[in-house]
Amino acid sequence: MKKGLLIVLSGPSGVGKGTIYSHLLKIMPDLTVSVSATTRSPRAGEKDGVQYYFLDKGEFIKKRANGEFLEWAETVGNFYGTPKAPVIEKLESGKDVLLEIDVKGAHQIKAAYPDCVTIFVLPPSEEELKKRLVGRGTETEDQVKARLELAKSELSESVLFDYRIVNDDLDRAVREVADIINKIKGERKC
């Protein structure tokens, strides 16, 4: 059986990765999304096991020591990691899996799974990125500042990704990600 395709969607916080993948799932219902673990606190409306598995630092470190993460990173003051077993299981059973992760995690995945496809989502401008992060209203002023500071170095690494797309018009960005996935799937032999 043909293995599933591993897709990494990355880019700075607030660029619209989560928005893109939720729209992508509507037009690609067979795509599965990995639920990450994090030590950050849930935002209003977020549920454990849905947006994230919310762990305390000790639990995260224990799982990391047990080799339970495919990749992990400390970013914007918290730990984030992709649980390994469910991703491997889905790929082996032929399902495509999308990871929405930061740039450090994306590099780890590419090194371990060179056949994966990495897509970097760029903002139309740094001003627009700031507007989106502030507009989302989920971070404090200091947290927004830290995320924007990190975004500068992350943006400079976009050239290391297989594909780069600009999230200006949402529908077009979603279509571009779908086109990339369909193109790669069409070209794969195994």
**Interacting residues with ligand ADP (CB under 6 A):** 13-19, 132, 135-136, 167, 170
Indicate the helix (H) or strand (E) that contains 38.
strand 36-38
Pairing of strands 78-83, 36-38: antiparallel
Q: Decide: 72 and 83 in contact? Cβ < 8 Å.
A: no
CB of 100 to ligand 5GP, least distance (A): 5
Which CB, 40 or 175, lies closer to ligand 5GP? 40
Q: With CB cut-offs between 5 and 8 Å by kind, which of ligand 5GP, ligand ADP, none does residue 131 bind?
A: none
Question: What is the C-alpha to C-alpha distance for residues 1 and 15, in angstroms, rounded to an integer?
Answer: 36
Scan residues 32-71 and list those touching ligand 5GP (CB under 6 A).
Answer: 36, 40, 71
Residue least distant from ligand 5GP (Cβ):
105
Q: In sequence order, what are the residues at sequence separation of 6 or more whose Cβ sits closer than 8 angstroms to the Cβ of residue 172?
A: none
Site string for ligand 5GP, 79-118 (x = CB under 6 A): -xxx-----------------xxx-xx-------------
Q: Decide: 57 and 39 in contact? Cβ < 8 Å.
A: yes
